[in-house]
Structure 1
């Protein structure tokens, strides 16, 4: 018998001073049985740090082979943002970069290993694609605090994330690398 996804709800107040984005979000994330808690936290962080009109979690989530973890669409439905999470393969990043005007990767893994996996591979506009990483201990602490219903306040100042997550106060720099 196949296991079904577990739905988690998140109420998040976002104050991204760096981008001038302030929002109160009510989100539902379906966690696939094969998805780690760290991956889900990174999906949530990517969504909040990329938040803009038209953003959404992809329908297939972690199990989707045709879409990234997070998509941004314009009012016509055209994909304008392709945001991968984890350690995507080069073919997915290449396809996303050709399809969308903006592509990014957020990882909870060792960024050097993710970069090494993508280096030398054919990726459209690789030099324009940022790879963002977080402190792995912070992501693990947030993952340990996940419940079915979650509340968070996320503030970003000078690429430093301050996260109050279900009563835990966490912080991490947003480390940025380039594929090309």
Structure 2
């Protein structure tokens, strides 16, 4: 018998002063059995950083189609934003860059991300619509304290810094942009 996904319900209030975006979102996130809490946290942070009324999660790891895990589609069906997580393969990113106007990759994994970036940096420079950020491992580990099946979170973004909090604690993250214009 196959393992089922774990469902997380998130009330996420976003105040993104960098983009002048303010909104409340009710998210239902399915955590695939092979997905860690760390990856789930990265998915929520990526959603907050790119939030819009059209941004939506796809089937992600459970999908057999070649689609983004998080994307924004225009009313005409074009992919305006394609978002990936982790240390994506250059071939996969090439496909994403060819299909979407903008592609964002949020890397995590500490030192392994540094090694991945050294190996991929020259190959990825040619993709003008690709932006890559590294999320610091130590602060992501602190953010794991926020993960619960039912969450009410506030996210404040200003000058590229992120404050993610619940009623009891706050985690500060400073993503490092590896590729793309600030």
TM-score by length of structure 2 reads: 0.89
8 Å contact from structure 1 (residues 98, 124) kept in 2: no
Matches within 5 A, 1:81-160: 81-110=81-110, 111-121=113-123, 123=124, 125-160=126-161
Structure 1 residue runs of 5 or longer lacking an equivalent are none
TM-score by length of structure 1 reads: 0.90
Residue 34 (structure 1) aligns with:
34
Q: Aligned pair count?
A: 177
Q: 1:131 to 1:168 in 2, by over 3 A?
A: same
Residue 80 (structure 1) aligns with:
80
Farther off after superposition, 163-172 or 144-153: 163-172
Structure 1 ranges of 4+ moved more than 4 A: none
Report deviation, 1:87.
1.2
8 Å contact from structure 2 (residues 56, 71) kept in 1: yes
Residue deviations 1:59-117, cap 9 Å, x none? 2x234351222111001222111111111111111100000010010122234233234
8 Å contact from structure 1 (residues 150, 166) kept in 2: no
8 Å contact from structure 2 (residues 87, 107) kept in 1: yes
Give the aligned CA root-mean-square deviation in angstroms. 1.9
Farther off after superposition, 46-55 or 3-12: 46-55
